[in-house]
Structure 1
Amino acid sequence: MKQIKNFVDNIHNEAYKDHYMSPILEAGSYVLSGGRKEVSLNGNWNFSVDMYDNCLRAKWFLEEKTNSEGRRVPLDYGFDDWEEIPVPAVWNLVKPEYFYYEGPAVYSRRFFLKENPGGRVFLQFGAVSYEARIFLNGVFLGLHKGGSTPFGVEVTKELKEENRLIVIADNTRRQDQIPSENTDWFLYGGIYRSVSLLFVPDIYIKDMNVHLNDRENKEIKVSVSLGGCERFLEGEAVFSIPELQLETVISIGTEGEGQAVFKADGLSLWNPEDPKLYEVFVKLRIRGQVLDEVRDRIGFRTVETKGRKILLNGKPVFLRGACLHEETEEHGKAVTKEDIRQAFKKAKEMNCNFLRLAHYPHTEWASQLADEEGILLWEEIPVYWWIDFANPHTLKDAKNQLMELIKRDFNRASVVIWSVGNENPDTDERYHFMRELAETAKAYDPSRLVSAACLVDVVNLKISDRLEGHLDVIGFNEYYGWYDPDYEKLNVILEGSNPDKPVVISEFGADGYLPDGKAGSNVRGSEEEQKEIYEKQVAIFRKTDYIQGTSPWILFDYRTPKRLGAYQKGYNIKGLVTADRKREKPAFSVMKDFYEEVIKDEQADGSPV
């Protein structure tokens, strides 16, 4: 190819991103952090939106202040002079002009590391929306895709005493991404979960999966995998639960992995009424020397289905739930632990024992606090509405997000259902796409149930989806009384369907606003009409024995650019509680009373609440 003599790379090269498409930071990049030395990089970072992507185009991350002739050149950036914004946070709520911004933005932060204690150092992110390109001291470390799952990258060789960390966060919506271009929630941008440096030995415990393998015999299964070694010839992992005076040795094979199954006498099972957690430890021992140790707080329980029942610890359980988005008016998607506790408290006031975390992985704090509070969780990935089901790169992205979620929350007793999608059309491409996701979840984690929130067959008026054969629980989204006012269709669907497995009504509901000076169910979208719709829905649910859970849409009103009606004003107002979380709508009491009846029925049957 003939050389172009006046070619200027940073203005003429439209293939500029090709250099920053790999390495991809995937599910194997994250390292278990429990009990290890960790240095937080949270705090104020320098920030600028970069709508033309000039940090990549012009290689600002190199901080080249002179040209090849040694002469000073003008700079179009000033990392240390930019405004400061907090991390973790969403940029949308920092300044009004950033509220609707979608696209690339540049985060920069200096940090000092006077002493490296030896071993390896990993840079770990809780989540960055959506694509994140990471640079340390001018070196491109990798690209992560997926705005709601954790990732990490080793930085041992790149670290200096004084360091410059740059993150290009890009929340641009794209057809081939997960989620795709069209969603019914607000797509916040930024580094909105924690960032830290994690210090580990040269050979370290990378992952530890623990679960109750056999309820009757109180058998626990533990799997351990190591990092930092291509081949591992001699060593063992020592697993212990001090409260039970239990200790067992796990042999590590030549590939750096090992597992064991053993009895845990005296083990108390985790359940919503008694969410018992145990401190567990794993030590890596080589030739008698302890090289590494990790810890976690874990509850032990089983979840399975039998016919049309969901069994928790072998006993039927009805999932008394609600759907929940990861959002508050003050913090957006960067929710705090107090925000989560507040949501859990409100759910419990409604007699919930279950929450569907929609429509993407929520922060790891959610499952950790649910473990403590005794709340069962449905967690899902954002295979939402229509995506590029025929694209193998999109499937790879979805599988990676699923694996990152499963790896992160494998040890959480509260998580009982993995969901592989929501409201997708039953096409051939979608069927093969989501079947592979369901099979992936089952292969890696057979200890939990797999579901998806499916749409009704509106032609035949039946619960019918080809994906059902690959699910343990059928999720059923329906809005009769609202989008379709004809309740009789719901009766026809429920009476005419004959599923061989449990069904959870994963969404139902209606808008609910308080009209100025008006009242009554004749006002379309009013809180009174919302209440009436809930009353009719609940009456139908009571007659259907295969319904084993309900999660109305949604616990709190939340932001979405799709809802621009006179009373919506940029919010989905189907919440049972207002967006400020202060006022319960009348439909809240309908669900509270319904769940109280379920509790009384379970108590009368002698089943656990």
Structure 2
Amino acid sequence: MHIANHAQKLFHSTLFSVAALTTLIGPAQHRAIAQTKLDEGTYKTLLVNVDHRKQISLDGDWHTIIDPYGSGLYTFHNELRKDGYFLNEHKDNTEYDFSKSPTLKVPGDWNTQRELLHFYEGPLWYQRDFTYQKKANQRTFFHVGAANYRSFVWVNGKFACQHEGGFTPYDCDATDLLHDGDNFVVIAVDATRLAEGVPTLQTDWFNYGGLTRDVALVEVPTRFIDDYDLHLVRGTTNQIDGYVHVIGASAGDKVSVSIATPTPTTVEATVDANGRAAIQLYPGGLELWSPDHPRLYKVQLKTGEDTLDDEMGFRTVEVRGTQILLNGKPIFLHGVSIHAEAPIRTGRAYTQEDADTLLGWVKELGGNYARLAHYPHDQRMTRTADRLGVLIWSEIPVYWACHFGDPNTLALAQSQLHEMIRRDRNKASVILWSVANETPNNPERTKFLTTLANDAREYDPTRLITAALLVRTNGMTKIVDDPLGKALDVIGANEYVGWYEHEPSDIAQTKWQIDYQKPLIISEFGADAKFGLHGPADKRWTEEFQANVFTQQLIMLNNIPQLRGMSPWILMDFRSPRRVLPEIQDGFNRKGLVSEKGEKKQAFSVLQKAYKNNGVGKAE
């Protein structure tokens, strides 16, 4: 399906009704509401640049009901309830009461807020009362930054929309569902892992459930800008092309775009019959964005009563042979991988302090790049990366053994890819869209991921497409010959020589055979160490062992001629139910350079020295 048509189907569909709920999919014994399907009815969209829109925050305390049997939506005969929890009724015979139920903080995962919920994966209902004053000639959207994994929204007892995907935003048009005065919203969030989901059942991170990012009402005029793209044209230093899309516009309506460079530039364009206005302008005195010079400019877009402000940087990224070019010049990506695990408190990261801490450590390392694994992170991360000058690899959670032969799974992956790109396409820091991590090499999977790579390239031709591939081993030779490489601009490769295979003393002798004349990023390498555990450099789990692995890896990596970047695994320890070794892991993946409490391990200094002294990697 052409991605423009695919996007239109996904985001310009119609409002749902409770009566349109269909039967569940999957085994009869598994009746999680995460598998509920709803037919599409009136209008919903996906807004961009929501953090610069007029908002009424709904963050704070929400009343909650744990519902492991899905009783709030189904009768004991598995029939849809007409009097479900979404009505928020207060009758004598009602067997629930949100007002008497405990609260959870939003945003935030439920797992780390209440001990009872630590390992809970299932449906949980959120409810909040709020007051609202409707305004003429205005539309109001209910915005959710992220909810893991499936979520269903009712406003004043009427169904608003649903969303699948735990790491991308969505917006419900609530204009006709709101009324003056007292209102309420009910959201059912189900964190049940699904075999056909994206991600699938098995992951190496914690399945934090809940409303994990900001929730707000967003107000816009009847005619408003819902999407735009402004980018520097490759090979130029001041030509900015793109478009502005306007909802509710008529052909011939005007749109203006202004960029506040030293010589402020404004251009006016005309909306076509599809609500789209082509943009081209040549701002004077434009300074290009780079990690060494993360210059941002105030940008303003206008149409009718709608004005939307942004801060944007302008740069180009491309490949030339085995080089990555930023603004036409070769660059090496000195970086690290990051999970969206909150420092100190743990749980899902979502605050500005989280972003400042995590990306601050990247800068302290001497890094210019971060791989945001294995899903889109909170928008504060990419905003902060823009400000600090950290190049970003952003990824969707097509992870390990997805259902690559299922067209519905492909549609889910395409939806999340579209949502990721649409949200962050105007962030200068983002240079790489990744379509997968460590997937099995077979024709079905290669076709699936090639489709995603082509979709990403068509939807955003200004950035590079990558994926983190598994690497074959033949003796002491690592072979990069995955056929997916044909569809990628940059090859990502994960390897754990010295930890999952061979010994640290073998690392420097490892040879590489790469079947693609394309830039290579070693997207993962590393070893576990518990902070404060010391011993000989050959004793596993110690800081010394981890530091030795990094030291030997740097020697090996310097012998790969086409290496153009590295993002070792991982910046900070993170929770994972797979990591169960008592007194060492205790439920955490310990490959972090920093402990979850912010304590730096010896390997942090090893990598920091290499980065700051340019001791690893060449741009050309």
- TM-score, normalised to structure 1, is 0.90
2:316 to 286, 302, 318: 302
Distance in 2 (CA, whole Å) between partners of 1:578 and 1:20 is 41
Alpha-carbon distance, 1:61 to partner: 3.6
* Residue of structure 2 equivalent to 1:125: 144
Contact preservation (8 Å) 2:470, 2:493 = yes
Distance in 2 (CA, whole Å) between partners of 1:314 and 1:447 is 13
Alignment of 1:71-110 (within 5 A): 74-110=93-129
Distance in 1 (CA, whole Å) between partners of 2:537 and 2:616 is 30
Distance in 2 (CA, whole Å) between partners of 1:524 and 1:196 is 47
* Residue of structure 2 equivalent to 1:3: none
* Residue of structure 2 equivalent to 1:44: 61
Alpha-carbon distance, 1:344 to partner: 1.5
SS of aligned partner of 1:496: strand
Distance in 2 (CA, whole Å) between partners of 1:188 and 1:468 is 32
Alpha-carbon distance, 1:458 to partner: 3.0
Deviates more, 1:421-430 or 1:593-602: 593-602
Residue deviations 1:16-55 (CA, integer Å, cap 9, x gap): 9697523399994335436432111111110121111111
SS of aligned partner of 1:506: strand
* Residue of structure 2 equivalent to 1:30: 47
Alignment of 1:451-466 (within 5 A): 451-458=466-473, 461-466=478-483
Contact preservation (8 Å) 1:238, 1:283 = yes
Matched, 1:240 2:255: no
Residue deviations 1:170-220 (CA, integer Å, cap 9, x gap): 110010000110000001011011111111111111111111114425100
Matched, 1:521 2:537: yes
* Residue of structure 2 equivalent to 1:6: none
Matched, 1:314 2:314: no
Contact preservation (8 Å) 2:266, 2:281 = no
SS of aligned partner of 2:472: coil
Deviates more, 1:57-66 or 1:160-169: 57-66
Distance in 2 (CA, whole Å) between partners of 1:510 and 1:27 is 45
Distance in 2 (CA, whole Å) between partners of 1:26 and 1:333 is 31
Deviates more, 1:429-438 or 1:24-33: 24-33
Residue deviations 1:224-248 (CA, integer Å, cap 9, x gap): 111135xx23211111113331011
Alignment of 1:178-577 (within 5 A): 178-228=198-248, 232-243=250-261, 244-284=263-303, 290-328=304-342, 329-458=344-473, 461-485=478-502, 494-514=511-531, 519-566=535-582, 567-577=584-594
Matched, 1:63 2:87: yes
Distance in 2 (CA, whole Å) between partners of 1:481 and 1:600 is 18
SS of aligned partner of 1:413: coil
> Residue type matched to 2:238 in 1?
K
Alpha-carbon distance, 1:84 to partner: 1.5
SS of aligned partner of 2:73: helix
Residue deviations 1:327-357 (CA, integer Å, cap 9, x gap): 1241511431111111112111111110000
Distance in 2 (CA, whole Å) between partners of 1:193 and 1:64 is 23
SS of aligned partner of 2:341: coil
Distance in 2 (CA, whole Å) between partners of 1:337 and 1:438 is 31
Structure 1: where are the runs of 5+ without partners? 1-8, 67-71, 285-289
Distance in 2 (CA, whole Å) between partners of 1:310 and 1:92 is 41
Alpha-carbon distance, 1:523 to partner: 1.8
> Residue type matched to 2:489 in 1?
D
> Residue type matched to 1:366 in 2?
M
Change (3 A) 1:64 1:274: closer
Distance in 2 (CA, whole Å) between partners of 1:105 and 1:119 is 32
Deviates more, 1:27-36 or 1:272-281: 27-36
SS of aligned partner of 2:356: helix
> Residue type matched to 1:469 in 2?
K
Alpha-carbon distance, 1:596 to partner: 2.2
SS of aligned partner of 1:430: helix
Change (3 A) 1:601 1:489: closer
Contact preservation (8 Å) 2:573, 2:594 = yes
Change (3 A) 1:559 1:142: same
2:161 to 124, 142, 146: 142
Distance in 2 (CA, whole Å) between partners of 1:180 and 1:27 is 26
Query: Which is greater in Rg?
Result: 1
Residue deviations 1:492-515 (CA, integer Å, cap 9, x gap): 874433430110000000011257
Contact preservation (8 Å) 2:45, 2:172 = no
Contact preservation (8 Å) 1:221, 1:262 = yes
- TM-score, normalised to structure 2, is 0.89
Contact preservation (8 Å) 1:439, 1:470 = yes
Distance in 2 (CA, whole Å) between partners of 1:175 and 1:238 is 46
Contact preservation (8 Å) 1:355, 1:378 = yes
* Residue of structure 1 equivalent to 2:16: none
Distance in 2 (CA, whole Å) between partners of 1:184 and 1:532 is 24
Distance in 1 (CA, whole Å) between partners of 2:410 and 2:508 is 36
> Residue type matched to 2:546 in 1?
Q
Deviates more, 1:357-366 or 1:539-548: 539-548
> Residue type matched to 1:63 in 2?
L
User: What count of residue pairs does the alignment treat as equivalent?
Assistant: 581
SS of aligned partner of 1:548: strand
Contact preservation (8 Å) 1:25, 1:142 = no
Residue deviations 1:335-387 (CA, integer Å, cap 9, x gap): 31111111112111111110000000000000001000000000000000111
Alpha-carbon distance, 1:14 to partner: 9.2
Contact preservation (8 Å) 1:211, 1:300 = yes
Aligned-residue sequence identity (percent) comes to 36
Deviates more, 1:524-533 or 1:15-24: 15-24
Contact preservation (8 Å) 1:121, 1:200 = yes
Change (3 A) 1:392 1:490: farther
Alpha-carbon distance, 1:95 to partner: 1.3
* Residue of structure 2 equivalent to 1:171: 191
Distance in 1 (CA, whole Å) between partners of 2:574 and 2:462 is 33
* Residue of structure 2 equivalent to 1:54: 71
SS of aligned partner of 1:321: strand
Distance in 2 (CA, whole Å) between partners of 1:191 and 1:474 is 34
Residue deviations 1:468-526 (CA, integer Å, cap 9, x gap): 0111110010000110015698678744334301100000000112576x511232221
Distance in 2 (CA, whole Å) between partners of 1:587 and 1:179 is 30
